[in-house]
Structure 1
């Protein structure tokens, strides 16, 4: 337990909350790289995923790419890109790494959300005379949103965890205490950094879980609630 006491003592020491290497600064750096990477990944993956789900074309390529991207070692990929980009473009190399790791869950969430929609719903929308664009924006996107948010949730957690290693190439972030503490054998620093990253990931997961629940259309939510209530009533 002394290890945890030392870690929390390091966390709440006044000197850790002021200066250029303070916890608020590291948190800001971590959030900046996470936000930029998630935004770029969304702009790339979501339109492609919607196109695949809407047309039914290119699914095999998307599945193969997502599987290959998930297998990439994040640390090795970042070091490789840093070497390829050069010392002056280290932030760009890191962001490319984070984006590549965030694309697969977003891509999968986008196209599986549309593929999971009941075909009868789509046939009914076409029977009402909806065009392909109306079908996409008024039916497929709203109904597929919960699975897309689930993919976003996975991507954000993946990127938050991976941004931790950005400190290895001197980009700061909440991984800095971990990277700096390892060679110094400062267990309190390493554990404190791990606690900060875990707390940020848990908070992000909680917020996105609430967003995923809120993204379910009201009518679908009521239908699901009624369906789950019928077995209970029957058992009674």
Structure 2
């Protein structure tokens, strides 16, 4: 009887040791699996942070370009609608008789401005021959009359930019190109269509405005109608003949 009891105890001890040993081996496997899972989670988390960071940066640049482009379009809209006459224009310059200060229906130098794109800095700029802070005496000293023919001449943008008291304001940056069309030759155009192409992260965004002196303006937000140079534009209200002069 004693021998049988001793045999049972030995067998029980062996089973307990086997179970405990198996449990210890399983714990090592669990630790190995857990470490692999932790590494995978950390790697995935790092990748996600990088991806989110890239998307955030791209979205910020895109939003900045949209804000800048729409801001420039609003300024051009205001300039065109308040202007008295559209002078010379090409794909780098748009000359305007901006206002009639003396109410005499005669163009004077201090009433002109040129909207232009600087190719070196890729900036859209607005230049007037006199600064906003210029005194009446300073304006009178350099002011003179301007004919419609001179306003419509290709040399007039340089005349405004080269004035001794000229002031330049930057309306937008990263402007890859500017496209200007009119419904008549320079000096006779009643409406102008201006397209700006701004770049964000190597992707171009197009902003359009169509307006005329003392006339309603329309944002051209999508394509539906072709002009005679093959570009597509959209008018919400057509108040002027759709005949574009391409410089």
Interval of TM-score (by shorter of Structure 1 and Structure 2): under 0.3
Which is helix-richer, 1 or 2? 1
Select the structure of larger CA radius of gyration: 2
Structure with higher RCO (Cα < 8 A, 6+ apart)? 1
- TM (norm. structure 2) is 0.21
- TM (norm. structure 1) is 0.22
